[in-house]
């Protein structure tokens, strides 16, 4: 059994966007909390909560959209610090890296000494860290989260260490839900089931989860070594100064690598990404693969480049990238992909295949994804980016004077709907040049349907491009609720009101 040391930086998605553990903060994805700080958890905020529920529990909550690019880019500095101690650092995901423990433990005076050294190294780099040592990656990650800063699980003791943990740590919600309904509630209960029965009932994915619960490697060790001819390499002449050029080539190389592995019936567990520069300098990093798409591999190449590129500079100090190589570092027989418990493939797989088919029919711009960017109004903060392209490198945090605070609205009409906002006397509400409101709003009429105003806040003035007469805009925004239960974001420009967004 392989002895593994894991270094874990808690709440990394929150740390990556600049929120420290003492600040109540959370990162959100599609209106749900994806991660939160320790201070936010103390106020009752939990992962998976709706943003509004989290803000109700913690009104001072600092909210940021999740930034996976920042997570990968900033964690490269942590991985580099650990690599100063031992060269074989594997980035499992941003916030979690692993190293083989046997050799370094002998060199540094034992596993606990190594664990403390790695932990201190990451802390000196400016980040909280837990570190743990155990048999295999799964147990080592839980060991890093245990106790005060992590523990060392004795060799051969992984099964006993894992036994009390709930099934949720397997990160397989459907499997865990079904097992709970069968009376199986802990990893120890699951590990006690016969392996043959588990494989027959739950297939490959269930068998892999069962091995994890028993403290074993997720796959049996396979005598398959990464052959040199499976590596793929692409060159640049002249050297590539733009990151997008390198990432696009990496996506093509990843697709070529996947095709080569599939033709041999192999699957890649770890992937080494090497990037060569004009002066001969080479950046190498191990990444956990485990079924990553070609696009996901390309994203990791971009993280690797971003961490070593001066901020705000397209080129780099080494004179440009001359080659990129992707090499499978650890191979296992491809046992196939288990469908969902109800005979379905995963949603992510279906979406990726559907996107590829649509782009093949309609062209590269035939399908796009919404990307959050900087802006004042909700309609300005979302742009459409073709699937597979990088998100625009626009500043997201601002400052954006006149922007409306969260939560984000549920609906942003393609064309703002005209509206009329009147005071108690029936006169139109007017906003002066000094942003003074003529009278409190009393009635709102949208598409000919009047409703009484029950609450309002504002204005948020936005004086845009005042230095350019041709492009200058002057607007003010209000949030308004009505007696029919509706909530609107209104904007007034040139004396005319319109509905900019609707809240749920």
Q: Does the global pTM surpass 0.75?
A: no
Number of domains in the chain: 4
Give the residue numbers spanning the domain of 243. Answer: 228-333
The answer to whether residue 224 scores a pLDDT higher than 80 is no
In a domain, 88, yes or no: no
Instruction: Tell whether 397 is covered by a domain.
Output: no
- CA 276, CA 236: separation in Å to the nearest integer? 10
Q: Bigger pLDDT: 475 or 117?
A: 117
The pLDDT tens digits for 85-116 are 987 888 888 999 999 998 899 999 999 999 99
Pair (279, 183) in one structural domain: no
Both 298 and 362 in one domain: the answer is no
Q: How far apart are CA 485 and CA 430, in angstroms?
A: 24
Predicted local confidence at residue 473, as pLDDT: 80
pLDDT of residue 347 exceeding 60, the answer is no
Residue 106 burial (CB count, 10 A)? 11
Please give the mean pLDDT across all residues of the chain: 84
**Residue of 355 and 486 predicted with greater confidence:** 486
For tokens 């600049």, the residue is 18
Extract long-range pairs of 380-384: CB within 8 Å, 24+ residues apart: 382/412
Contact 141, 6 (CB under 8 A): yes
Mean pLDDT value of segment 4-17: 94
What whole-number percentage of the chain has pLDDT above 70? 86
Domain assignment present for residue 451? The answer is yes
What does the pLDDT average to over 387-415? Answer: 69
Residue 339 falls inside a structural domain: no
pLDDT at position 17, please?
A: 92
Give the pLDDT confidence score for residue 308 in this predicted structure: 66
Residues 267 and 232 in one domain: yes
Q: Which of the 8 DSSP states describes residue 441? A: -
| One domain, residues 445 and 424 | yes
User: Across residues 21-49, what is the average pLDDT?
Assistant: 92
Same domain, 308 and 252: yes
How far is C-alpha 431 from the chain's CA centre? 41
Quick check: is 495 in a domain? Answer: yes
Consecutive H or E run containing 8: strand 3-8
Which residue is it, tokens 């005042």? 466
Residues 493 and 445 in one domain: yes
**Is the CB of residue 34 less than 8 Å from the CB of residue 28?**
yes
Verify cis geometry, omega within 30 degrees of 0, for the bond prior to 399.
Answer: yes
DSSP conformation letters of 275-341: EEETTS-EEEEEEE-SS--HHHHHHHHHHHHHTTS-TT-SS-TTS-EEEEEEEEEEEEE----PPPT
Which of 187, 213, 239 is where one domain is finished?
213
| Per-residue pLDDT, 309 | 59
Average pLDDT over residues 478-489: 90
* Angle between helix 294-306 and 68-83 (nearest 10): 60
Rounded to the nearest 10 degrees, the angle between the axes of helix 173-181 and helix 195-213 is 120
User: Do 233 and 304 have their domain in common?
Assistant: yes
Asked whether the beta carbons of 81 and 123 are under 8 A apart, the reply is no
Can you give the pLDDT at residue 373? 75
pLDDT at 316: 43
Q: 381: which DSSP letter?
A: S
181/241 same-domain check: no
Give the separation between CA 72 and CA 96, rounded to whole angstroms: 11
With 50 as the cut, is the pLDDT of residue 315 above it?
Answer: no
Q: Report the pLDDT averaged over residues 176-197.
A: 92
pLDDT band at 364 (very low <50, low <70, confident <90, very high): low
The verdict on whether omega for the bond into residue 407 sits within 30 degrees of 0, i.e. cis, is yes
pLDDT digits (tens, 9 = 90+) for 131-175: 999 999 999 999 999 988 899 999 999 999 999 999 999 988 889
317 and 364 assigned to the same domain: no
What CATH number corresponds to the domain at position 260?
3.30.1490.100
Other C-beta atoms closer than 10 Å to the C-beta of 300 total 24
338, pLDDT greater than 60: no
Q: Answer whether residue 22 is part of any domain.
A: no
**288 with 296: CB under 8 angstroms?**
no
Rounded Cα distance, 195 and 280, in Å:
51
Rounded (to 5) percent helix, strand, coil in the chain = 35, 30, 40
Is the confidence at residue 43, as pLDDT, over 80? Answer: yes
> Mean pLDDT lowest for which of 194-203, 291-300, 488-497?
291-300
Q: Do 233 and 328 share a domain, yes or no? A: yes
Q: Which of 60-74, 379-393, 489-503 has the lowest mean pLDDT?
A: 379-393
Is the residue at 266 inside a domain?
yes
CB 498 within 8 A of CB 491: yes
Q: Give residues with Cβ within 8 angstroms of 417, minimum separation 6.
A: 446, 447, 498, 499
The pLDDT-based confidence of 474 (bands split at 50, 70, 90) is confident
**Same domain assignment for residues 249 and 327:** yes
E-strand spans in 415-484? 417-422, 443-446, 449-464, 473-482
Same-domain pairing of 317 and 358: no
Q: Residue 106 CA to chain centroid, in angstroms?
A: 36
Where are the alpha helices (H) located in 58-185, listed in sequence order?
A: 68-83, 102-108, 111-124, 137-145, 158-162, 173-181
* CA–CA dist 64, 233 (Å, integer): 38
In a domain, 18, yes or no: no
Give residue 335's pLDDT: 58
CA dihedral 447, 448, 453, 454 (to 10 degrees): -80
Examine the fold and report which residue of 287, 307, 333 is the final residue of a domain before the chain moves on: 333
At residue 412 the predicted structure's pLDDT band, cuts being 50, 70 and 90, is: confident
């Amino acid at each position: 059994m392989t002895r593994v040391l894991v270094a874990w930086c808690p709440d990394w998605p929150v740390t990556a966007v600049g929120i420290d553990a003492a600040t109540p903060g959370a990162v959100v994805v599609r209106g749900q909390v994806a991660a939160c700080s320790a201070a936010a958890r103390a106020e009752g905020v939990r992962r998976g909560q709706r943003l509004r529920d989290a803000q109700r529990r913690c009104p001072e909550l600092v909210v940021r959209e999740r930034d996976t690019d920042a997570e990968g880019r900033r964690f490269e500095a942590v991985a580099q610090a650990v690599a100063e101690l031992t060269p074989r650092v594997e980035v499992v995901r941003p916030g979690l890296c692993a190293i083989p423990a046997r050799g370094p433990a002998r060199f540094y005076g034992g596993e606990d000494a190594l664990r403390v050294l790695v932990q201190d190294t990451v802390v000196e780099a400016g980040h909280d860290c837990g570190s743990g040592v155990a048999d295999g990656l799964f147990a080592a990650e839980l060991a890093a989260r245990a106790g005060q800063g992590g523990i060392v699980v004795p060799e051969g003791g992984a099964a006993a260490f894992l036994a009390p943990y709930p099934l949720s740590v397997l990160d397989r919600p459907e499997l865990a839900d079904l097992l709970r309904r069968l009376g199986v509630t802990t990893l120890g209960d699951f590990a006690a089931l016969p392996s043959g029965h588990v494989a027959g009932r739950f297939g490959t994915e269930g068998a892999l989860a069962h091995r994890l619960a028993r403290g074993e490697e997720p796959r049996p060790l396979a005598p398959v070594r990464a052959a040199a001819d499976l590596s793929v390499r692409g060159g640049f002449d002249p050297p590539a100064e733009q990151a997008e050029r390198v990432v696009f080539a990496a996506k093509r190389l990843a697709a070529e690598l996947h095709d080569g592995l599939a033709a041999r019936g192999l699957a890649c567990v770890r992937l080494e990404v090497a990037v060569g520069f004009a002066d001969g300098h080479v950046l190498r990093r191990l990444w956990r693969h485990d079924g990553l798409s070609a696009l996901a591999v390309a994203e990791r190449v971009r993280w690797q480049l971003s961490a070593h590129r001066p901020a705000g500079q397209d080129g780099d100090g080494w004179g440009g990238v001359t080659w990129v190589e992707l090499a499978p570092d650890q191979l296992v027989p491809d046992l196939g992909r288990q469908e969902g418990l109800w005979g379905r493939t995963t949603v992510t797989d279906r979406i990726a295949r559907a996107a590829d088919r649509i782009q093949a029919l309609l062209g590269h711009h035939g399908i796009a994804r919404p990307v959050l960017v900087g802006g004042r109004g909700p309609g300005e903060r979302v742009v459409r980016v073709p699937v597979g392209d990088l998100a625009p490198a626009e500043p997201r945090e601002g400052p954006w004077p006149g922007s409306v605070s969260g939560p984000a609205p549920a609906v942003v009409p393609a064309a703002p709907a005209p509206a009329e906002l009147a005071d108690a006397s029936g006169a139109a509400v007017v906003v002066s040049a000094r942003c003074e409101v003529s009278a409190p709003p009393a009635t709102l009429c949208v598409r000919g349907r009047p409703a009484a105003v029950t609450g309002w806040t504002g204005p948020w003035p936005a004086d845009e491009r005042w230095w350019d007469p041709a492009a200058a805009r002057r607007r003010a925004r209000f949030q308004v609720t009505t007696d029919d239960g509706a909530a609107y974001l209104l904007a007034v420009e040139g004396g005319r009101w319109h509905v900019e967004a609707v809240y749920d």
